[in-house]
A and B are shown apart, each in its own frame.
Chain A
């Protein structure tokens, strides 16, 4: 930021003008009599009339105006307005629900229109931009999201029963929660197994150079094969195995289901895990190791007290990549009957029930973002050293 006369923040300007255009020009909600029939779209102006719709532009134009002279104060003000807008959107949906949904038709539902999605996206970008310009910490950045999530949660719980997504959820809430649990279990098992296997493999590869080349060759090869193909290719041998080995069948192993899914997930997870562990352990400054040796530390002391703690942030980075990747791949695994949130996506696609697709896709997106944020934060804490108090070193 320039100190004396800040030039206009064109990013916010562009975002807000685009938001206004989306608000006025795109359908903000749609109303459908049931879950399959495509709904009728309503512009904001069609729902509440032009004067009110135009008034809705005012806060965005205000932010655009503030962006003209983006000093600290006006940026903070903009932040408040943007937060307010994001908290207001669920209320807007609730208002629409009251105005447009006939309470006598229990099946009729309110769909979220492109204007609202786009507005959410643009406002989120504005939030990121403001966070960067105000140099807010990671924690403060996430703190901003909390009030937004709270308002959305409250609105969803009390006033947004006619929302299509809510209707869809209520129809299969037990199934939904089970799917989340299943999804998490699959991801957890895959990441856990690949962590153990990956670290072991990386350690072995550091010892044997030939194993190193072979290992990376095979893992790279596996990573290249698209997930759907790998799931498919595992299907045949596992089906054959379970048909011929009764004890495997008794364990629940079969061509479709959790067994090929887990195997494929582990196979995919191994490459990032091994690569990061290997790079992390190799990347430790040789001077530090030399010094540790010189002080008289034994091999195992050097490894446990010096090399491993120093390698931990990079290793954790591997866990982050693996987890985010596994959350997405586990969704594909639903195709071969592994369950999880992907089931909703593919069933929804099959029945052309878009709300069901959303019910599967949105939580997956959220899970990936949360896992990324949490593990990323942990890794950066580790890197700053605030958590690496050397246990037995003193």
Chain B
């Protein structure tokens, strides 16, 4: 019995190896950044402090995750719902506009969107969440539309012909078939959001972008490297998680 359990554990470990490794490194660096002081001393021999200490790295990571998590959650909810609504007969009128908006919106650089959010919404955490949410909607809407529109018409025809109801077709046929495309959209959205959230440090949000910005402002390359390393690891962890989920 124990041997069997261990076998399962090993299999799980193997399947989830990439996210586990990146995530493990991320946590390890967060916890043990101080131990690397000699190395950072090499980069920045003249500075008094070489380890960013205005906030705990784990706290910064947590804030980063919260901002991205909240924004992505709502972006997924709103984006998928909107795309589903405009592909129903009742909302079909809005489909061309929404589709064009979703693809045009993606040419907007995220920095510009973030910058434009500040005059409208002000400084701090909330504007960033809103900006990330709005920007993160676009790939989700676009991919959900592509996924739903890409389903073989004969499959839908036969689903209707078999006597499935609209909700049954949506839940049992359309969404499962569109799922891989939707997930790819979510992956793009979350990846971009992690990167854009880091820029949030310039508009007053405190997250893993903070060490980088303050490192640049104070000409302390060691800070920059610490922030950059952690953001890079975070992005890789999340991306490898999605790569694992993608069928």
Chain A positions within 8 Å of B, measured between CB atoms, are: 9-11, 114, 117, 125, 128-129, 132, 221, 224-233, 235-236, 239-240, 255-256, 324-325, 327-329, 331-332, 335-336, 342, 345-346, 348-350, 352, 354, 357-358, 360-362, 364-365, 368-369, 372
Contact B101 A128 (CB under 8 A): yes
Instruction: List, in ascending order, chain A residues with CB within 8 A of B225's CB.
Output: 232-233, 235-236
Closest 9 CB pairs of A and B: A328-B109, A232-B228, A226-B195, A354-B119, A229-B228, A229-B231, A361-B115, A232-B224, A372-B107
B112 touches A228 (CB 8 A): no
* Chain B 66-86 near chain A by CB (<8 Å), digits 1 or 0: 000000000000000000000
Q: From B25-33, B49-57, B144-152, B198-206, give the one contacting chain A.
A: B198-206
The answer to whether B110 and A226 have CB atoms under 8 Å apart is no
In the complex, A325 Cα to B212 Cα: how many Å?
22
Contacts of A235 on B, CB cut-off 8 Å?
Answer: 221, 224-225, 228
CB contacts (< 8 Å) of B231 on chain A: these are 225-226, 228-229
**CB <8 Å contact, B198 and A228:** yes
- In the bound complex, residues from chain A placing their C-beta under 8 Å from that of B101 are 125, 128
Inter-chain CB contacts under 8 Å: number: 140
Q: Quick check: B115 and A360 within 8 Å, CB to CB?
A: yes
**Residues of A contacting B213 in the complex (Cβ-Cβ under 8 angstroms):** 335
Contact of B236 among A125, A224, A328, A329 (CB under 8 A): A224
CB distance from A136 to the nearest CB of B (A): 13
Contact of A229 among B110, B115, B212, B221 (CB under 8 A): B212
Q: Say whether B162 faces chain A, with CB atoms less than 8 Å apart.
A: no
Known: A225-B236, A232-B227, A360-B115. A327 touches B221 (CB 8 A): no
Whether the Cβ atoms of B109 and A327 lie closer than 8 Å is yes
Q: How far is B214's CA from A350's CA once the two chains are assembled, in angstroms? A: 12
Bound form: Cα–Cα A365–B108 in Å: 6
Say if the beta carbon of B43 comes within 8 Å of chain A. Answer: yes
Q: Are A11 and B111 in contact (CB under 8 A)?
A: no
Q: In the complex, which residue of chain B has the Cβ closest to the Cβ of A220?
A: B239
B88–chain A nearest beta-carbon distance, Å: 13
- Contact for B198 among A9, A226, A362, CB less than 8 A: A226
Whole-angstrom CA separation of A387 from B43 in the bound complex: 53
CA distance A325 to B115 in the complex (A): 16
Chain A nearest Cβ from B169, distance in angstroms: 24
A132 to B104, CA, bound (A): 14
Report the bound CA distance from A230 to B108 in whole Å.
21
Among the stretches B5-13, B91-99, B153-161, B178-186, the one at the interface with A is B91-99
> How far is it, in angstroms, between the C-alpha of A259 and the C-alpha of B115 when the chains are bound?
25
List residues of chain B with CB within 8 A of the CB of A125.
Answer: 97, 101
Binary flags per residue of B207-247, CB closer than 8 Å to A gives 1, else 0:
00100110110000100110111011001100100000000
Given the complex of chains A and B, what is the CA–CA distance between A227 and B195 in angstroms?
7
How many Å lie between the Cα of A128 and that of B101 in the bound state? 9
Q: How many angstroms from the CA of A342 to the CA of B216 in the assembled complex?
A: 15
Taking CB atoms and an 8 Å cut-off, the chain B residues in 98-129 that contact chain A are 100-101, 104, 107-112, 115-116, 118-120, 123
State how many angstroms separate the Cβ of B123 from the closest Cβ of chain A: 8
Distance in angstroms from B71 CB to nearest chain A CB is: 15
Q: A357-B115, A369-B104 are in contact. List 14 more A-B contacts (CB 8 A).
A: A225-B235, A225-B236, A228-B195, A228-B198, A232-B227, A239-B221, A327-B109, A346-B202, A349-B118, A352-B123, A361-B112, A364-B109, A368-B112, A369-B108
Decide yes or no: A129 and B97 within 8 Å by CB, A228-B212, A236-B224 being known contacts.
yes
Cβ of B87 < 8 Å from any Cβ of A? no
- Among candidates B97, B107, B228, residue contacting A128 with C-beta atoms closer than 8 Å: B97
With A228-B198, A233-B225, A236-B225 as contacts: A368 and B108 at CB distance below 8 Å: yes
Q: In the assembly, what is the distance between CA of A9 and CA of B95, in Å?
A: 12
Q: Report the minimal beta-carbon distance from A233 to chain B, rounded to whole angstroms.
A: 5
Distance, CA A240 to CA B115, complexed state (A): 32
Q: How far is the CA of A23 from the CA of B131 in the complex (A)?
A: 23
Knowing A229-B232, A328-B111, A368-B107, the reply to whether A349 touches B202 (Cβ < 8 A) is: yes
Q: A224-B191, A229-B198, A368-B108 are in contact. Are A357 and B224 (CB under 8 A)?
A: no
Cα of A129 to Cα of B96 in the assembled complex, Å: 7
Nearest chain B CB to A32 CB, angstrom units = 12
Is B221 in contact with A328, judged by CB distance below 8 angstroms? no
Residue in chain B with minimal CB distance to A332: B111
Residues of the A chain whose Cβ atoms lie less than 8 Å from the Cβ of B118 = 349, 354, 357
* Closest A residue, CB atoms, query B219: A256
A232 to B73, CA, bound (A): 28
Return chain A residues, CB-CB under 8 Å to B108.
328, 365, 368-369
B29 shortest CB reach to chain A, Å: 13
Interface check B137, CB cutoff 8 A: no
Give the complex CA separation of A369 and B103 in angstroms: 11
Q: Which residues of B contact A324 (CB under 8 A)?
A: 107, 109
Q: Provided the pairs A229-B198, A357-B118 are in contact, do residues A11 and B232 lie with their beta carbons within 8 angstroms?
A: no
Tell me the complex Cα distance, A125–B224, Å.
41
Which one, B107, B110, B221, contacts A369 given CB within 8 A?
A: B107
What residues on B are CB-neighbors of A345 within 8 Å?
A: 111-112, 115
Residues of A within 8 Å of B61, CB to CB, are: none
